[in-house]
């Protein structure tokens, strides 16, 4: 069956690297270099940005028409006596479209268990947010083993939403724990193998009606300019961290996305 390729999805999480004013200045700079970018204007690429909580509303204003905005975490519940938590309902209310769930740092530093990740994934989908579901293996090893582990993590995270009949877009962010913060990303062949398996599994879930057909698999873990050109045949996009702190580097990744989709358009159908 002939179909047009889905947009290349490029996401950025700022973690806690920037202060509030610095974040807003960065958003303004990103809007400046990407607002008229060919990849975004033509629909070849789609951009999302995940700043710190305090900067979410300012980011929504500055990136309107350029990028969707998300939260770095959410509560398992939608309201109530949960001091310090931020609900998916509130994130959606202020204009968020995505929310990060289950990042390796949340699991390692804050003790998030698979049960918590499952509840947060359900909460995101319940509130119309696309979970950017971070999954990955702990130690470097065989890519087929890594793929099997990641598929298990994906199914477990979605189990609550599936049981409740809640269907929405899911963005699977494959981030091998050993590659996060490393000097280099995982090897291209490793990424291709794991992401291709995840892509096939996600497509099967979409066919079953368990997730939206707009769901995607992106790679994170020391991802930066140059990587998308190498692995673009096996992933739907990239999840960027510190390499996107320079807005010009983010524009370079969008250049790669435009080039990839231009190549796709030239292929026989």
> Packing angle between helix 188-207 and helix 143-164, nearest 10 degrees?
30
Name, in order, each residue with C-beta under 8 angstroms of 190's C-beta and a sequence gap of 6 or more. Answer: 143, 146, 176
Distances (CA, A) of 60 to 24, 49, 73, 133: 10, 9, 17, 21
Q: Is 190 a catalytic residue?
A: no
Angstrom distance (rounded) from CA 10 to CA 252: 11
Q: From 166, 172, 76, 75, select the one nearest 132 (Cα to Cα).
A: 172
DSSP string computed for 219-241 = EESS--TTHHHHHTTT-SEEEES
Q: Is 77 a catalytic residue?
A: no
Query: One of 37, 46, 100, 103 is an active-site residue; which one?
Result: 103
Pairing mode, strands 8-13 and 237-240: parallel
Q: Which residues pair with 237 in a beta bridge?
A: 9
Cβ atoms 221, 194 nearer than 8 A: no
Query: One of 46, 100, 112, 175 is an active-site residue; which one?
Result: 175
Q: Which residues are catalytic?
A: 103, 175
């Amino acid at each position: 069956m002939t179909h047009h390729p889905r947009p290349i999805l490029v996401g950025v999480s700022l973690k806690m690297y920037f202060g509030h004013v610095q974040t807003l200045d960065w958003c303004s700079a990103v809007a400046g270099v990407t607002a008229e970018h060919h990849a975004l204007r033509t629909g070849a690429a789609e951009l999302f940005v995940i700043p710190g909580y305090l900067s979410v509303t300012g980011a929504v204003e500055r990136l309107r028409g350029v990028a969707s905005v998300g939260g770095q975490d959410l509560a398992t519940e939608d309201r109530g006596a949960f001091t310090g938590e931020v609900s998916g309902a509130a994130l959606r209310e202020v204009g968020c479209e995505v929310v990060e769930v289950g990042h390796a740092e949340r699991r390692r530093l804050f003790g998030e268990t698979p049960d918590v990740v499952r509840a947060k994934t359900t909460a995101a989908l319940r509130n119309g947010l696309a979970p950017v579901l971070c999954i990955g293996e702990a130690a470097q090893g065989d890519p087929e083993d890594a793929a099997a582990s990641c598929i298990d993590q994906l199914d477990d995270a979605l189990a609550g939403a599936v049981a409740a009949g809640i269907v929405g877009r899911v963005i699977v962010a494959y981030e091998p724990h050993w590659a996060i913060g490393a000097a280099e990303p995982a090897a291209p062949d490793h990424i291709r193998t794991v992401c291709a398996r995840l892509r096939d599994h996600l497509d099967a879930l979409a066919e079953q009606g368990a997730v939206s057909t707009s769901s995607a698999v992106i790679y994170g873990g020391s991802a930066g300019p140059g990587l998308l050109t190498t692995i673009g045949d096996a992933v739907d996009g990239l999840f960027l961290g510190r390499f996107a702190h320079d807005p010009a580097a983010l524009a370079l990744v969008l250049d790669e996305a435009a080039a990839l989709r231009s190549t796709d358009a030239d292929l026989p159908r």
